[in-house]
A = this chain, B = another copy of it.
Amino acid sequence: MDFTAQARAAKDASRALATATRATKDAALHAMADALATAEADVLAANATDVAAAEQAGTAASLVDRLRLDPSRLAGMVDGLRQLAALPDPVGDVVRGWSRPDGVQVRQVRVPLGVVGIIYEARPNVTADAAGICLKSGNAVLLRGSSSALHSNTAVTAALRAGLERVGLDADAVQLVTGGREVTKEMMAARGLVDVLIPRGGAGLIEAVVTGSQVPVIETGTGNCHLVVDADADPGTALGIMVNAKVQRPSVCNSLETMLVHRDIAAGFLPRALAVLAEHGVTVHGDPEVAALDEAVVPAEEDDFTGEALSLDLSVAVVDDLDAALAHIRRYGSGHSETIVTESRRAADRFVAEVDAAAVLVNASSRFVDGGELGFGAEIGISTQKLHARGPMGLAEMTSTKFVLLGDGQVRA
């Protein structure tokens, strides 16, 4: 089936899904979970084929790890679908409502977006997660996975579609989009058929979709996250947040990449911080002042401040004051999550007001900036754009709204 035919089928499927009850959608999610669990042997065999090909091609171990499924990971995917069934349905929520003086009732109601396209890398768990979130929010989904996960994604999608059919829903609500690069281009040009594209993956993939797409895009961005240790920081709090944000899971977007230390606290704080970071196996890339403190510190290059390392590396610089810290974040930050540790109410207020990011934190770890931690129950990604959704996106962010006006013959004066 060519892409346009797939997209039209998705549009048709989305119409029925838009008016499906929560009971129907939850039954579908459980049926999808059941079918995926039943297909375990097929899915793992398909995945083994992908993994073997990736290893033979010399793919980096970290990427092969993301590609690999095992019974435990598959159980996680199955469980994720069941958890979605337990969440409230955003569709039909009345966002606001009132009556006009002439008696016309006005309501703004949540409705699905329609057809959502997900473009993602070789992580077969995304196939089930994204399909589940789209289904629960009443959207049809076109899953454009990586060709290196093709066998895995095909097996997973087949199971999910079987689940949909079991409850009488149109299987074309969940479709895998295959084919060469020109298909991605068709997807990005499919205005009117695809309502939104969500790229999930590295900076290169996201940039290509954001700049190349005529379909509206929700940018799930990279995170170059900063921790500012203010003059009035409690050192113990700063050390605890530093370690948690850097070490707990360095490969994710809400982990720490750069620490900026106020000059007034640097002499006391930095030696302790360097010792603690060394204990946790973190390589510090420091500006000249930091590098002068410890020969284990790698002198920082400009590059160390611009990007997302996603590894146990931390860039550290001394800043003259809060203004300098804010200027550094303005220059290098990616608008994801920015943290200050301070006991000064004034510094905290300025930081919260002036930093332009999806999330701003005072005395708390940036690792909290996550749909699960914020209680959303499910997350399709973390938006670093300002339109539509900013920060962790849950089910409500996968909807649009519609104004409904109910009258009995009123006309405009």
Residues of A within 8 A of B (CB): 15, 18-19, 98, 100, 104, 106, 108, 111, 113-114, 191, 195-196, 210-211, 214, 216-218, 234, 236-237, 240-241, 243-245, 248, 348, 352-354, 356-365, 367-369, 373-375, 385-388, 390-392, 400-412
Contacts and interface: CB of A to CB of B under 8 A. Distances in A.
Contacts of A108: 391
Nearest to A111: B356
B356 A409 contact: no
A361 to B, nearest CB: 4
Contacts of A360: 402-405
B241 A352 contact: no
Given A390-B402, A405-B369, A411-B241, A214 B218 contact: no
A307 to B, nearest CB: 16
7 contacts: A98-B375, A100-B373, A113-B387, A234-B409, A348-B406, A364-B409, A367-B411
Contacts of A404: 352, 359-362
B358 A402 contact: yes
A348 B114 CA distance: 21
B411 A104 contact: no
Number of this chain's copies in the complex: 2
A73 to B, nearest CB: 21
Contacts of A243: 411
A406 B341 CA distance: 10
A244 B114 CA distance: 32
